[in-house]
Structure 1
Amino acid sequence: MVSKKNKKDNEFSRFNIVTSIMLGIFFVIILRLVNIQIVNCELYKQTANKQNHKVISTVAPRGDIIDRKGKKLAKSKQSYILTFTNTKESEESFFSTMDNVFKILDANKGIQIDDFLLKVKTSADKKKTIYSFDFNKTVDKKTQNWIELRFKKDRGFDDEVIEKLYKDIKKTDLKSEQVKKVDAALLKITPEQVFNKLIKNYGMDEIVDSKNKELLRRYMLVKDTLYMQSYSGYKPVNIANNLTKDAAGIFQQMQPEIPGVSVATEPIRVYPNKDLGSAFLGYISKINPWDKDKYEEQGYDISTDYIGASGIEAAFEDDLRGTKGQESIEANKQGRKIKTLGEIETYPGKTVQLNIDKNMQYAAERVLDAVLLDLQKKGTVKDVDMTNANRGAVIVSDVNTGKILVLASRPGYDPNLFAASSGLTTEKYDEYLGPVTEKMGLAYIQKRGLVNIKGILTDDDMAKSKEEREKILLNYIFPLDKSIEGNTTIRKDNNDIFPKATFNLATKSLIPPGSTFKPMTAIVGLEEGAITKTSQVNDSGPYNTRYPTLTAACWKYNDQGYGHGIVDIQTAMRESCNYYFYDVADKLYHNAGENKKGLNLIAKYAWKFGLGIDPNSNKKPSTGIEIPESFGQVYNYESSKETLASIHRSSLVSKLQKGKKSLDLESQKESGTSKEIDEIKKSNGGKVKFLALIKTEMKKDKINSYEVIIKTMEIALKELTGASQTLKNNNYTDTNIRAMAEIIYSEINSANTEINSAANAYYAAIGQGFNVFTPLQLTNYVATMVNGGNRYELHLVDKFLDPDGKVIKETKPLVLEKTNISANTINIIKEGMWEVTSVYGGTAYSTFKDFPIPNGGKTGSATFKEDIQSALGRTSFGYYIGFAPFEKPEIAVCVVGFDGGHGNYVAPVAKAVYEQYFKAEILKKNPKYEFMVDPDKETSNINLDTSITGNGHD
């Protein structure tokens, strides 16, 4: 039995122990508090602030793009985005969280943002995993290598390579040769090796065997973005954008189960009319890696920001982008915002108001689409095969200001697909931006039965097997792109077979104008006094020129065996009589002295109308439009010399290569040892110098005598072949040198004869030969003709507005040139164009005969490549140019259908545009008038039968 004393002692001892423990705990707590609040007060204060108080950048809405009446063509709207913030808690449950996220995304048709270069795909039989780098539209090998190297270096792969190759040398101390070796080693690291290394780097080792490779890559997308953004401070990672409202609600409800994941709102670009106006609006895209430094300096966030990539979006990026804001927030332990502590508001970009009329644009695009589809379905009409009529363009301008009211290029594309990472599918990418492949080329050849058409294929080729003929055609029509090193799959579309939705045909396609150029020839004839309004010629058959080697005939004689008979300028315009305009060209050339002046006479006037520029002037080749354009040139002596000399020089290179003793004048790739490279450089330099000498001889106004040229070429050939060891090894004899000099003389003589031929002026007069322009130039030319002779600078943009609608800057009309063409000449031209649309027999009469607004126009057709276009599966361009109303013109139009056959086939597009512009006036005259389209209701009532069965050739 324990005594009471001992019991009390034991109780006291236990009390003392508990008390001591409690005192110890309190002492530790006090020490900890002292450490936190006094000793390391600032440190813990900063840590707490860092964890709970964040400063984040807020995206500014891009400025709106609106039409002339204020209708929105591009705008920004708030969209739901899904983000992930890396915190201690969210990191611990990362994989289970992402599994939930992916499940919800997939169920709601949301798409994870995926700009990751490294792609992973499981084969159809599930037995093999394919790893690759996807360079999208970048097909140039040098650029691909640069992107791949940047990708690997950004993720530290170069550190390991440098450690292995140059253990004791710092990265910054490497010499250029050492850097090249490091780069070469990096390029040898396979996509699969990169994938496996990143699995390890991103802490995914433990799950690698339990998940399929595609799922691992989805985790990797988030992990990699976290890593790449780790140097930017606090910044959530965007997992998906443009979520539906329902999907956003599900994610918000599930937040307790998905730590680190939040739903936020952010402005995204929206094009409410989809593909309408895509040719001038352009699109936005992520910043290319090679532009990283440039845009970072301008304050862009490379990982998330979009920039204008084409069209108005690109041309006015600085105006549209707006100014970012900042938000100071308090965040919880999961990284989610609890409240806003302070904010600097974003400032929206400027509104860009265009001269475009949305309703006219709608009419132009929808009717052009219908016309092209109708032509494809009709196939061959009057021996013209239009099955490839899948492209076209329309331009409409205000003739008195230069404002562009319509600019269409078809097919179009939906810019919305570029505005979000989830939008542009592989299929759409291939359609819009993908290169031509062998499969595409063969399918085109087979579908059109081109193996049975001579032109490209010779008589000997036609005896070969079908497969052999297909191969010959494939390599001719779609040759392999040799600019891509080691390329065996990407082919070039040199003959413009396939439609390219992102290429603006309205501003960048350089094509012959055909008979739409005839009013220009008539202007020159009238102004130079070669013809008058009453001048007549008898089109009775072939045109007998002053030059026995040159013969020509009108289309009517070629088609029907007889000509137009007696024609004056009005009849010639109405029925598009080639014979009449050959005669104008003949008179002009003769009256000018049958020399360079005569060959340049038409060009001298055409330049005033914006159809090219004098090559000896310092004028800028531009219409003034704000988006990228090409600028075509009318036939002129100087430009043709350069073109024809280049053509004949290429022909000569081919002939010398195929001669009995071949001479290779192609420059070779500089590769091999230093000695070999020096030899190739020397040889290439000699070839360039030799070909330059030949071209100079070709371009002389009058070539030297046979003896002088032969002697000059023999000396040059001996110098060339003697200076290159490769050529010296061919052991050329004096006989060989003489034979090659003879071939060269023949080509020089042929080139010079063609350069100085009067035929160039005849072809130019009817819009063929060397004449090539954009539809934009042709519209400006029509406007200049009918407005009194003033050529205006063309503009898409009317004004810039601030977010409150106040005008900041306005575009004023600017006359670039006064042509000083007489009023009498202009009236004669207008009358001739009126007969085209309003008098029976006019080539566009069938389209405009019942149209209530008097107007004028000109149809045209221009061959693509006359001798082989059928063998290519192509046919003539179909043109229509016009103006309305007749008395006091307000608008000018140009419509072109690629492979459209004849101009009267596309004339209904111009009519549809007129209907919208003159809608109120038309309804006053006829309240029951049936319009081709109703842009407000987005309906149509298009009847195209008359355009196909109408009178005329063009």
Structure 2
Amino acid sequence: MGNIPETGRTRRVTGRLLVLQVLVLSLLGTLGGRLWYLQIRSGASYAQQASSNHIRTVVVPAVRGEILDSNGVPLADNTTKLVVSVSRTSLLQQKDGGKAVLTRLGQVLGMTYLDMHDKVRLCDAKTPRPCWNGSPYQPIPVTQTATTQQAMQIMERQEDFPGVTASTSAVRLYPAPSGANAAQILGYLSPVTEEEITAATDANGKSSLAASDQVGRAGLEYQYDKALRGTNGTTNLEVDNLGRVIGTAGGNAPVPGADLVTSIDARIQALAEQQLNQAMVTLRGTWDKVTSQNYKADSGAVVVMDVHTGRIIAMASAPTYNPNIWSGGISAKDYAALNSQNSDFPMLNRAIQGQSAPGSTFKVVSTTGALNAGYSYDSTFPCTSSMTIGGRLFKNFEGENFGAINLSKALEVSCDTVFYNIAYQQWLSDGGTKPKHPQDWLYKAAHQFGLGATTGIDLPGEVKGRVPDRAWHQNYYDAMKDTWCKQAKTETDPYLRAIATEDCVDFATLRAGDEVNYAIGQGDTLVTPIQMARVYSALANGGTLYAPQIAKAVVSPGGKTVQPIRPVVQGHLPTTSRMIDYIDQATANVITSGTAAWKFQGWPQDKVQLHAKTGTAEVVGKQTTSWFDTYTKDYAIVMTISQGGTGSGGSGPAVRNIYNALYGIQANGSIDPSKAIRPAAQNALPSFHPDGTVTQPVSFTAPALLPPAGSNAPALAALDIAALAPERRSDA
């Protein structure tokens, strides 16, 4: 037949088939390439990701490090408690979502179903506490205070309590050795927040904090949280597609936290707390003739410092509280009580956060300023009962008159009018209300003593006090001018209106009355007990200002020192050796013949030379604040009591009792070295064994302490833990 000629239609069909074949082959090639990429090139990676879909990581908490006193005695420790936990996974596998199990469990533990339900629900932005902030695959603790009987009921009836376990677990404990409460020093723990977890996340998206972690919130627990916390471990759990655990797949062991060795001596800490409390109790039964009522003695603080290093041996604040209420989670009732005005905010550490006028204890600063301004050691000034400055009468305390005396005698007898006179002369020489090039020697001295700034102590929340110099007056005026000027027009009380009018016009100007009041530690001057302890420590050691420190070393769990914390020199007083000797003699005379002599009769000054300055600070609308600042060649002790009367009368006996115990001074003035707690400063660390345990010090019994002068109370038993619960007057 011959060949049939190819028509146009046939050619078009053939072309389309060819294109289709190419397209199909391209698609097959692309699919094959993709399959090769997924199965060969990236197969291992996807296999790992697929496997991880069946792995859930559970955090294994690290044991928190201990906080130890200078002898190695635990101030913050860990104890084992019976913890009842519930598996959320197991609850969800039950038909009723675990309601029956939680109800039965609540009956055993004395809790309601709602209590149990709230504890095992997961936290989110809308769910209030209590709730569980950790992994849903981790057993959720519902109580840390289970009894042995309750645990036995649960474990012996597992058929009634599927997914419920009772086991021992580490819980933070504050054991109060020797009765040393130390709540404000130690701080407390509470659950971590989402913000903190995010802040602790590194570049790889991993956070050093787990949602179930507890972190330090105050005190040393906060300041050294990273070292104390350690590193959490992990356990990898294999789960099926329904979330049920079917096995384990390894993990990492937790690394315990390091221990923190402090300079706190638990025996002295307990003694300081007891003496502060007893002084306040005694004052509440003592009549204040000025206000015609008993002293309220509503709060106070005491600091014991090593003058050669700045280390804190004891630091007490009142009122106080039991830090163990935070262990296992604080109740809403207890939390409200801690932050209530009725309780006077016991969480405040008044040693570093309590600000008040220092009264006459400030005169060592004014004396130094005066000597640097050019006054001689022998210059005399009239100690009159009062003097008039700018039309206002400034009185000496209790109207005393000692005639013409020098600065040393003025410190000894605490003559206000001597310092009024010097301050007024300095104000005039600086130009009065129209200064040109003021020297401000008295204000300069305060800054050189480290006042008006934080000391840098290794505790959070320290406040800086206030030196009311020219800069402060201007800044405060700028902030308050509008308020004062408005009050000057609207205030109905004539006295308050007059003050507001005066402040509206010229508060920015340093007036004569401002500097006169400042020179005796009154007016707008504010200090903290830790600042004054550092001042008097510097006087004791020849003029060196040390940073106050509580931590001495961070020690690994095996007992090897990993980070010694050495004393830090911050500066030096604006003094010469002659100035120090001059102030030394004056403050020693305060004990033998000055304002504190009536409380220190029989003191062995020839064996333990004690230096002191009393202070009675006036507060508008309140009773006077008692200050008693002291030092020996070893220690500085500063005590202050709000609404506690005079320095020597309110705080003197308590400070004397602390020194008695430190040096072993007996009631008759003799010294028994065998009864001295700590006659000299201690710099060495305690002895650690290879297993991390510490050689405990020999037990110590302090001598009976002297009752306050004029009191019918019996001698106080040293280190009495019962005395740590401060009494509260109904009107305090």
TM-score (norm 2): 0.76
C-alpha distance in 2 between matches for 1:276 and 1:101 = 35
SS at match of 1:612: coil
Partner residue of 1:100 out of 101, 104, 107: 104
Amino acid at match of 2:603: D
Offset of residue 593 of structure 1: 5.4
1:850 to 2:603 alignment:
yes
SS at match of 1:881: strand
C-alpha distance in 1 between matches for 2:233 and 2:507 = 68
User: Residues 413-449 of structure 1, C-alpha deviation per residue, up to 9 Å, x if partnerless?
Assistant: 222211212xx33442222024x5xxx6xxxxxxxxx
The 1:233/1:632 distance shift into structure 2, 3 A limit, reads: closer
Match of 1:759 in 2: 513
Partner residue of 1:301 out of 200, 210, 220: 210
Partner residue of 1:606 out of 446, 455, 460: 446
Match of 1:539 in 2: 383
Match of 2:182 in 1: 277
Q: Tell me if structure 1 keeps the 8 A contact 2:445–2:574.
A: no
Q: Tell me if structure 1 keeps the 8 A contact 2:360–2:617.
A: yes
C-alpha distance in 2 between matches for 1:322 and 1:310 = 18
C-alpha distance in 1 between matches for 2:507 and 2:171 = 61
C-alpha distance in 2 between matches for 1:935 and 1:637 = 54
1:817 to 2:662 alignment:
no
Match of 2:619 in 1: 864
Match of 1:73 in 2: 75
Amino acid at match of 1:103: Q
1:402 to 2:310 alignment:
yes
Partner residue of 1:555 out of 381, 397, 409: 397
SS at match of 2:320: coil
C-alpha distance in 2 between matches for 1:585 and 1:88 = 77
Offset of residue 518 of structure 1: 0.9
Match of 2:486 in 1: 653
Match of 1:805 in 2: 559
The 1:583/1:243 distance shift into structure 2, 3 A limit, reads: same
Q: Tell me if structure 2 keeps the 8 A contact 1:906–1:947.
A: no
Partner residue of 1:428 out of 311, 316, 334: 334
The 1:836/1:295 distance shift into structure 2, 3 A limit, reads: same
Offset of residue 882 of structure 1: 0.5
C-alpha distance in 1 between matches for 2:625 and 2:448 = 25
Q: Tell me if structure 2 keeps the 8 A contact 1:556–1:564.
A: no
The 1:843/1:233 distance shift into structure 2, 3 A limit, reads: closer
Match of 1:57 in 2: 59
User: Residues 360-402 of structure 1, C-alpha deviation per residue, up to 9 Å, x if partnerless?
Assistant: 1111111101111221232535546454312111122221212
C-alpha distance in 2 between matches for 1:517 and 1:112 = 57
SS at match of 1:842: coil
Amino acid at match of 2:207: Q
Partner residue of 1:912 out of 634, 638, 657: 657
Match of 1:253 in 2: 156
Amino acid at match of 2:324: N
SS at match of 2:440: helix
SS at match of 1:945: coil
User: Residues 572-621 of structure 1, C-alpha deviation per residue, up to 9 Å, x if partnerless?
Assistant: 222211112212323434455554655721111121111126xxxxxxx5
Offset of residue 255 of structure 1: 2.5
Offset of residue 244 of structure 1: 3.7
Match of 1:137 in 2: none
Offset of residue 61 of structure 1: 0.9
C-alpha distance in 2 between matches for 1:645 and 1:556 = 37
Offset of residue 517 of structure 1: 0.3
SS at match of 1:81: strand
Q: Tell me if structure 1 keeps the 8 A contact 2:629–2:636.
A: yes
Partner residue of 1:631 out of 439, 444, 464: 464
The 1:784/1:102 distance shift into structure 2, 3 A limit, reads: same
Residue identity over aligned pairs, in percent, reads 22
Offset of residue 935 of structure 1: 9.4
Q: Pairwise mapping of residues 852-931 of structure 1 onto structure 2 (< 5 A)?
A: 853-865=608-620, 869=621, 874-884=622-632, 889-904=633-648, 905-919=650-664, 925-926=671-672
User: Residues 108-146 of structure 1, C-alpha deviation per residue, up to 9 Å, x if partnerless?
Assistant: 9xx96967999xxxxxxxxxxxxxxxxxxxxxxxxxxxx
C-alpha distance in 1 between matches for 2:471 and 2:86 = 64
Q: Tell me if structure 1 keeps the 8 A contact 2:430–2:438.
A: yes
Which stretch of structure 1 is more off in the superposition, 251-260 or 361-370?
A: 251-260
Amino acid at match of 1:762: V
Offset of residue 237 of structure 1: 2.0
5+ residue gaps in structure 2?
A: 1-48, 678-697, 714-732
Match of 2:717 in 1: none
The 1:390/1:311 distance shift into structure 2, 3 A limit, reads: same
SS at match of 1:397: strand
The 1:95/1:623 distance shift into structure 2, 3 A limit, reads: closer
User: Residues 228-286 of structure 1, C-alpha deviation per residue, up to 9 Å, x if partnerless?
Assistant: 76xx4622222112434443334323333311111133222111118711111111112
Offset of residue 913 of structure 1: 3.0
1:360 to 2:268 alignment:
yes
Offset of residue 295 of structure 1: 5.6
C-alpha distance in 1 between matches for 2:706 and 2:99 = 57
C-alpha distance in 1 between matches for 2:180 and 2:153 = 32
The 1:747/1:914 distance shift into structure 2, 3 A limit, reads: same
C-alpha distance in 2 between matches for 1:63 and 1:397 = 25
C-alpha distance in 1 between matches for 2:61 and 2:428 = 68
C-alpha distance in 1 between matches for 2:711 and 2:361 = 17
C-alpha distance in 2 between matches for 1:117 and 1:375 = 51
Offset of residue 629 of structure 1: 0.6
C-alpha distance in 2 between matches for 1:601 and 1:377 = 42
SS at match of 1:255: coil
Q: Tell me if structure 2 keeps the 8 A contact 1:522–1:584.
A: no
C-alpha distance in 2 between matches for 1:113 and 1:782 = 57
C-alpha distance in 1 between matches for 2:590 and 2:309 = 26
C-alpha distance in 2 between matches for 1:939 and 1:336 = 64
Match of 2:707 in 1: 943
SS at match of 2:254: coil
Q: Tell me if structure 1 keeps the 8 A contact 2:185–2:219.
A: yes
Q: Tell me if structure 1 keeps the 8 A contact 2:664–2:676.
A: no
SS at match of 1:878: strand
C-alpha distance in 1 between matches for 2:491 and 2:659 = 57
SS at match of 1:944: coil
5+ residue gaps in structure 1?
A: 1-45, 119-146, 156-219, 441-497, 614-620, 660-742, 950-954
Offset of residue 657 of structure 1: 5.5
Amino acid at match of 2:108: I
Q: Tell me if structure 2 keeps the 8 A contact 1:588–1:598.
A: no
The 1:500/1:81 distance shift into structure 2, 3 A limit, reads: same
Give the superposed CA RMSD: 4.1
Q: Tell me if structure 1 keeps the 8 A contact 2:301–2:640.
A: yes
Amino acid at match of 1:394: V
Higher helix fraction (1 or 2): 1
C-alpha distance in 2 between matches for 1:612 and 1:655 = 30
Q: Tell me if structure 2 keeps the 8 A contact 1:398–1:892.
A: yes
Match of 1:523 in 2: 368
The 1:749/1:404 distance shift into structure 2, 3 A limit, reads: closer
Offset of residue 813 of structure 1: 2.0
Q: Tell me if structure 2 keeps the 8 A contact 1:112–1:240.
A: no
C-alpha distance in 2 between matches for 1:336 and 1:899 = 64
The 1:935/1:578 distance shift into structure 2, 3 A limit, reads: farther
TM-score (norm 1): 0.59
User: Residues 605-645 of structure 1, C-alpha deviation per residue, up to 9 Å, x if partnerless?
Assistant: 121111126xxxxxxx5434343211122231121222245
Q: Tell me if structure 1 keeps the 8 A contact 2:661–2:676.
A: no
User: Residues 453-500 of structure 1, C-alpha deviation per residue, up to 9 Å, x if partnerless?
Assistant: xxxxxxxxxxxxxxxxxxxxxxxxxxxxxxxxxxxxxxxxxxxxx611
Aligned residues: 624
Q: Tell me if structure 1 keeps the 8 A contact 2:189–2:214.
A: yes
C-alpha distance in 2 between matches for 1:337 and 1:48 = 14
